């Protein structure tokens, strides 16, 4: 793939119109959203969905999210809107929440990876909304990275992955949230979170009462396991470096990392002064929102500085921290090390 990719400006009305025009014609445009950049195309055209999978190098059984801008656009996409979906939309749309419902025949199977459900989200980013309106169709948009790589939260990282592969990239600066939307299904009897994201499980429970969290969110999926969210079974968010999460206090972490040859620290801001190796910070300790905002850009930075062996701080799993942990544990291929246990093994062994 080596096509001319136009660079458009999210702040210019003329450019928003141009993006809409390209999308209406069946083209692909990378667009900013409040979570991460998306690789957008007409969700109702099966050939466009097929092209999205091809450009991303994504397995075609991993369904796409359909983006809308108003509640009127929802009924044609689904067979019914369950009460739980109404409550969630009322509380969190527009915003970083994706709701899975039964799909109507209008949504092609190509868009939903062959499933009879559809994932729908109403983004809050003004440029994303304006582009969907200009396109005049709902937009299928996976994260705008090549499959397996970290999602892009800054314009330059979208260009690295997609220049020459899409018709246009819309520059909207940095994404505010920094991790993808929370994916929740209301097709199950009890609503279930399939992917943690910008809306926390605590926030969802405050609106719905009981909410389950799918096992795949925290655990390593078994080989060939059936997972409810196909996206969770693929290797994800991985930079070239080998990352290991270190589950320890700051003091233990620093002592451990400083004793490793050729290490790079994926630490929190302000901790650099305790570390004698190259450091890439991702947000502040005790501040999950700042960690979410910085994580994917930090993973890109690790590649840019050529890091090979990376030791990461362990994020807290509460609030949006659960999404940070979920992404980081996949970037680390589920490697977690407890230095204290290592020492005990060392003493007894
Ligand atoms: O924040 C976001 O959600 C971003 C921006 C661009 O909106 N989009 C995004 O899309 O992260 P993507 O394709 O990278 O992730 C979609 C996730 C995948 O894990 C996929 O398996 C799941 O949603 N998903 C989509 N439709 C589904 C369905 N019908 N049933 C179960 N899981 C579904
Ligand atoms: Mg993705």
Reported as a single tens digit per residue, the pLDDT across 40-74 is 999 999 999 999 999 999 988 899 999 999 999 99
Ligand 1 pocket test, candidate residues 103, 230, 234, most atoms within 8 A of CB: 230
Spatial distance between the Cα atoms of 316 and 204, rounded to a whole number of angstroms: 18
Pairing status of strand 139-140 against strand 38-42: antiparallel
How many angstroms is it from 318 CA to the middle of ligand 1?
A: 22
For residue 323, give the 3-state DSSP assignment.
helix
Here the tokens at position 335 are 């490697």
Angle at 309 between CA 315 and CA 295, to 5 degrees: 35
214 φ, ψ (degrees, to nearest 5): -60, 140
CB within 5 A of ion ligand 2: which residues? 143
- Whether the ω angle into residue 94 lies within 30 degrees of 0, i.e. cis, is yes
CA distances (Å), origin 235, targets 34, 82, 332, 334:
24, 32, 10, 10
| Angstrom distance (rounded) from CA 132 to CA 4 | 22
Q: What is the pLDDT of residue 232?
A: 59
Strands 117-121, 97-102: pairing is: antiparallel
194 Cβ below 6 A of ligand 1: yes
Q: What is the pLDDT of residue 334?
A: 92
Task: Using the predicted structure, report yes or no on whether residue 329 has a pLDDT greater than 60.
Answer: yes
Residue nearest atom 12 in ligand 1 by C-alpha distance: 142
Q: Give which of 299, 301, 300, 336 is closest to 317, Cα–Cα.
A: 336
Decide if 35 contacts 175 (C-beta within 8 A): yes
Confidence of residue 341 (pLDDT cuts 50, 70, 90): confident
User: Does the beta carbon of 145 sit less than 6 angstroms from any atom of ligand 1?
Assistant: no
Model pLDDT, residue 261: 95
Å from CA of 143 to ligand 2 middle? 4
- Please name the residues in contact with 122: beta carbons below 8 A apart, sequence gap of 6 or more: 67, 68, 69, 70, 89, 93, 94, 95
Q: What is the mean pLDDT of the chain?
A: 94
Residues forming a β-bridge with 119: 65, 100
99: its two tokens: 């709701």
CA-to-CA distance for 39 and 30, rounded, in angstroms?
4
Do residues 204 and 184 touch, judged by C-beta distance below 8 A?
yes
Burial of 83 (0-12, 13-18, 19+ CB in 10 A): exposed
Helix ranges restricted to H, 25-178: 46-56, 83-92, 126-135, 155-162
The pLDDT of residue 239: 85
The predicted-structure confidence for 215-257, as pLDDT tens digits, reads as follows 989 888 776 666 666 665 556 778 899 999 999 999 999 999 9
For residue 220, the model assigns a pLDDT of 81
- Does ligand 1 lie within 6 Å of residue 182's CB atom? no
Question: Could you tell me the domains of the chain?
Answer: 6-233 (3.90.870.10), 242-348 (3.40.50.11030)
* 102 φψ region: left (φ > 0), alpha (ψ -120 to 50), beta (else): beta
Res. 195: pLDDT tops 60: yes
CA 251 to chain centroid: 31
Q: Residue 158, CB half-sphere, CA atoms under 13 Å: how many?
A: 30
Full strand arrangement of the beta sheet holding 279-281: 279-281, 263-267, 309-313, 242-246, 336-337
Strand partners, 103: 78
How sure is the predictor about 348, in pLDDT bands with cuts at 50, 70 and 90? very low
Q: How far apart are CA 242 and CA 334, in angstroms?
A: 11
CA of 298 to the centre of ligand 1 (A): 22
Q: Quote the pLDDT of residue 32.
A: 98
Q: Strand 212-213 to strand 263-267: parallel, antiparallel, or no bridges (unpaired)?
A: unpaired
Ligand 1 center to residue 264 CA distance, Å? 31
């Amino acid at each position: 793939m080596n096509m001319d990719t136009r660079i458009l400006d999210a702040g210019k009305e003329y450019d928003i119109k141009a993006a809409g025009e390209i999308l209406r014609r069946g083209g692909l445009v990378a667009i900013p959203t409040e979570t991460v950049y998306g690789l957008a195309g007409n969700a109702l055209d099966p050939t466009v969905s097929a092209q999205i999978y091809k450009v991303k190098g994504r397995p075609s059984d991993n369904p796409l999210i359909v983006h809308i801008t108003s509640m009127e656009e929802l009924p044609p996409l689904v067979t019914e809107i369950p009460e739980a979906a109404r409550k969630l939309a009322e509380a969190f749309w527009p915003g970083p929440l994706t709701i899975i419902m039964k799909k109507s025949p209008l949504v092609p199977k190509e868009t939903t990876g062959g499933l009879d459900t559809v994932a729908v989200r109403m983004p809050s980013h003004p440029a994303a909304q304006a582009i969907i309106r200009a396109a005049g169709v709902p937009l299928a948009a996976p994260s705008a990275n090549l499959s397996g790589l970290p999602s892009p939260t800054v314009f330059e990282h979208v260009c690295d992955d997609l220049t020459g592969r899409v018709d246009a990239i819309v520059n909207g600066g940095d994404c505010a949230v920094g991790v993808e939307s929370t994916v929740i299904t209301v097709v199950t009897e009890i609503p279930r979170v399939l992917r943690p994201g910008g809306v926390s499980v605590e926030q969802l429970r405050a609106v719905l009462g009981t909410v389950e969290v799918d096992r795949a969110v925290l655990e390593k999926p078994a080989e060939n396991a059936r997972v409810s969210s196909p996206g969770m079974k693929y290797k994800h968010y991985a930079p070239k470096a080998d990352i290991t999460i270190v589950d320890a206090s700051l003091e233990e972490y620093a002592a451990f990392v400083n004793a490793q040859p050729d290490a790079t620290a994926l630490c929190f801001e302000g901790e650099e002064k305790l570390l004698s190796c190259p450091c890439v910070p991702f947000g502040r300790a005790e501040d999950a929102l700042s960690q979410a905002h910085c994580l994917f850009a930090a993973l890109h930075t690790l590649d840019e500085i050529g890091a090979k062996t990376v030791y990461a701080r362990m994020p807290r799993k509460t609030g949006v921290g659960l999404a940070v942990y979920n992404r980081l544990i996949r970037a680390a291929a589920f490697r977690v090390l407890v230095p204290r246990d290592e020492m005990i093994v060392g003493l007894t062994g």
